[in-house]
Chain A
């Protein structure tokens, strides 16, 4: 079965420092990988996705993610964190086949950016 793991519960980072949120995946087949962000009391917002091609994917709000097939990872990164980046981040995976768009989500990482 497809799954993702987000090994850290919380990531603390000082404002202006690089931010990394880790995600590893387990699928049989080529994955579609997604990152979503959830601000307090809001629904999830799409940040970026990897389908195929370039391993470095750029997304919204200055975020990017690197797909690494050998390490089965899809870590989310931002070069310089802002206080407004404090939120809950979810990694998700889908194995593409016709008729199903099911996503498996990780448990989420709380990011706290310290002023």
Chain B
């Protein structure tokens, strides 16, 4: 199993550009989520999904869109990049939405918006 994979590893965008961060998992996990990590702020939840076709907002959803057409994939779209979106982005998945299952994290995407 590859686990949770993310692409790209690094990305530089100009203000106003759009892009999609890819996330895939091969563990047949129901639950998937996107976090951003900023120094001194821990991880903050952007969006999450409890299954294919079902998504919901987390703490900091503004400026981001998600969709979940398959169990495996959960892309994160930046609609119009802003410098405030400079961050490290992590995708995570978990076996189920019920039960105390830990989350598995991808390696992250480091995004810089200039």
Contact = CB atoms under 8 A, between A and B. Distances in A.
Interface in B83-114: 90, 92, 94, 96-108
Contacts of A46: 102-104
B53 interface: no
B50 A99 contact: yes
A36 B92 CA distance: 13
Interface residues of A, number: 25
A34 interface: yes
A102 B100 CA distance: 11
Interface of B: 4, 31, 33, 35, 40-45, 48, 50, 58, 90, 92, 94, 96-108
Give me the 8 closest cross-chain CB pairs, A-B, nearest first: A43-B105, A107-B42, A46-B102, A105-B42, A105-B43, A44-B105, A51-B100, A32-B100
